[in-house]
Amino acid sequence: AQTVTQSQPEMSVQEAETVTLSCTYDTSENNYYLFWYKQPPSRQMILVIRQEAYKQQNATENRFSVNFQKAAKSFSLKISDSQLGDTAMYFCAFMKYSGTYKYIFGTGTRLKVLA
């Protein structure tokens, strides 16, 4: 069975600094997708970034980038130039398709950006 592990329940970072959130997963699949979702306090969950497992190039979205290490089954999220609006719960998610779609989420990392 697939699992997703986020080992950092809480993190904090100073405004304008860089922070990296870790995520590891376990799967025997070769084709799958990985996602980082952001859930601000009392607000809607939104997609931050996604990565296709067959792509070796790391995905980037403005200040957000990932370090995808397929062999190590690691999928960390780097937030550069942190902003106060980045304060949120961040969930790592794994998705595969093998006849049916299956999503597995990690337990989340609560990130607080300090002024």
Partner 1 sequence: EADIYQTPRYLVIGTGKKITLECSQTMGHDKMYWYQQDPGMELHLIHYSYGVNSTEKGDLSSESTVSRIRTEHFPLTLESARPSHTSQYLCASSDPSGTTDTQYFGPGTRLTVL
Q: What is the DSSP string of 84-113?
A: GGG-EEEEEEEEEESSSEEEEE---EEEEE
Looking at 50, 70, 73, 78, which residue binds partner 1 (CB under 8 A)? 50
Per CB under 8 A, 110 contacts partner 1: yes
Tell me whether residue 11 or residue 95 sits nearer to partner 1 (CB atom): 95
What is the nearest approach in angstroms of partner 1 to the Cβ of residue 33?
5
Residue type, 22: S
Q: Write out the binding residues for partner 1, residues 71-90 only, by CB under 8 A.
A: 89
Q: How far apart are CA 57 and CA 45, in angstroms?
A: 26
The residues that touch partner 1, with contacts defined as CB under 8 A, are 33, 35, 37, 43-47, 50, 52, 89, 91, 95, 97, 101, 103, 105-108, 110
